[in-house]
């Protein structure tokens, strides 16, 4: 039986996706060729990437609404750079809620003036700032919807007159939102959609062409739009596996279905964290992430015992990020409810024997 995989990324993937992807490595489309040895210009793979792009827009409710879906390389970290390169003409506003938004700010400063509208750094990023004002004279406003390291999640997004840009790497396709309010969304596949190696970018077509600088081709959204995401050789396996995951999600009932499951999982785990005196959540309750639950053990003397118990229970990936320690349970779309129950059982067992 497969381990209960709470890894923050690369993420857990559905069993049927892993099965189909592994079969394609040996024999893709019954052509007696591997997926990773066919031409990326061949019709079988062009069909794959077109289907993946179409599914992304369909699941987000953005079909025929002036958006383009791209599968790019370089991870979300490259998008910190690309968004600014393509969109920052003079000045941009950023919300700082953790490590990844801090890195996005660092990259954007290379291209223009940056306004940090507010930050939760004062309390080690354990909350999402609220009631801030976004300037109207900026080129765009950038935020991070879910903070994988700290376990916070934006439950509401600001109304703004300027383009809204969002890094949704760790909660893309996990909950219902009005995605049409965003002008650009990007997400590394390895957090909730597929294997490492590709990044999904959803971009509103009319926000481009407004910067004065010359943009190198490999960093130009327009270059990839013009070539239908095939400006250069795409990461074929990562795109194919992402396509399979999107098909799996659609067949389940799409985002409305998976959101209900995700809320069940997070409610189960947070209820135990709050009930069990041996554990304490790291984030204020109203800003807790449904994807990444961060918590600590209240007695360091029990840490070794707890670590032994969850590893014996075939649980994987529960250690917190190396920068903050503690524990982190990542409950991405493909994680089953019974895996969360297995973790809760271990937490209750620790309480029983302590």
d(CA 326, CA 10): 19
Q: Under DSSP, is residue 92 helix (H, G, I), strand (E, B) or coil?
A: strand
Which residues is 187 bridged to in the sheet?
Answer: 200
Active site residue 263: no
Is residue 208 within 8 Å of 184, Cβ to Cβ?
Answer: no
Residue 100 a catalytic site member: yes
Task: For the chain, report the end-to-end CA distance as a whole number of angstroms.
Answer: 29
Q: How many beta carbons lie within 10 A of that of residue 160, not counting itself?
A: 18
Residues forming beta bridges with residue 141, ordered by sequence position: 93, 164
Q: Select which of 171, 191, 248, 265 is catalytic.
A: 191
* Secondary structure class of 221 (helix, strand, coil): helix
Partners of 113 in the beta sheet? Answer: 91
Quick check: bond before 10 cis, omega within 30?
A: yes
Torsion angle, CA of 290/11/184/116, rounded to 10 degrees?
60
Residue 231 to residue 225: CA distance in whole angstroms: 8
CA 191 to chain centre: 5
Two tokens at 337? 């409810």
**What gap in Å lies between CA 187 and CA 193, rounded to an integer?**
9
Catalytic residue chosen out of the listed positions 167, 171, 183, 287: 167
User: Which are the contacts of 244, defined by CB distance < 8 A and separation ≥ 6?
Assistant: 16, 17, 20, 21
Alpha-carbon torsion, ordered 136, 140, 145, 149, to 10 deg: -110
How many Cβ atoms from other residues are within 10 Å of residue 220's Cβ?
17
Is 124 considered catalytic here? no
Identify the active-site residue in 100, 204, 248, 265: 100
Active site residues: 100, 167, 191
């Amino acid at each position: 039986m497969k381990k209960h995989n709470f890894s923050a990324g690369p993420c857990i993937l559905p069993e049927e996706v892993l099965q189909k992807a592994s079969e394609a490595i040996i024999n893709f489309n019954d052509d007696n060729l591997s997926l990773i040895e066919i031409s990326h210009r061949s019709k079988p793979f062009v069909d794959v990437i077109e289907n993946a792009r179409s599914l992304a827009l369909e699941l987000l409710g953005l079909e025929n609404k002036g958006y383009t879906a791209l599968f790019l390389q370089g991870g979300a970290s490259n998008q910190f750079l690309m968004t600014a390169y393509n969109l920052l003409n003079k000045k941009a506003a950023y919300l700082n809620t953790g490590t990844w938004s801090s890195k996005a700010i660092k990259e954007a400063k290379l291209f223009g003036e940056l306004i940090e509208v507010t930050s939760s750094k004062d309390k080690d990023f354990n909350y999402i700032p609220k009631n801030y004002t976004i300037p109207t004279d900026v080129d765009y406003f950038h935020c991070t919807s879910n903070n994988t390291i700290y376990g916070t999640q934006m439950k509401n997004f600001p109304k703004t007159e300027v383009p809204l840009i969002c890094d949704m790497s760790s909660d893309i396709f996990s909950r219902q939102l009005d995605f049409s309010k965003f002008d650009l969304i990007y997400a590394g596949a390895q957090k909730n959609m597929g294997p490492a190696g590709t990044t999904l970018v959803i971009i509103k077509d009319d926000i481009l062409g407004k910067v004065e600088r010359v943009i190198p081709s490999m960093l130009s959204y327009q270059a990839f739009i013009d070539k239908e995401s095939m400006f250069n050789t795409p990461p074929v396996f990562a795109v194919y596996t992402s396509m399979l995951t999107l098909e799996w999600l659609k067949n389940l009932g799409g985002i409305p279905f998976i959101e209900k499951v995700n809320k069940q999982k997070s409610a189960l785990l947070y209820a135990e964290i709050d009930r069990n005196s041996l554990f304490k959540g790291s984030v204020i309750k109203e800003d807790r992430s449904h994807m990444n639950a961060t918590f600590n053990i209240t007695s360091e003397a029990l840490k070794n015992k707890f670590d032994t118990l969850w590893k014996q229970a075939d649980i994987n990936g529960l250690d917190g990020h190396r920068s903050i320690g503690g524990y982190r349970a990542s409950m991405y779309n493909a994680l089953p409810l019974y895996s969360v129950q297995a973790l809760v059982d271990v937490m209750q067992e620790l309480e029983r024997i302590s």
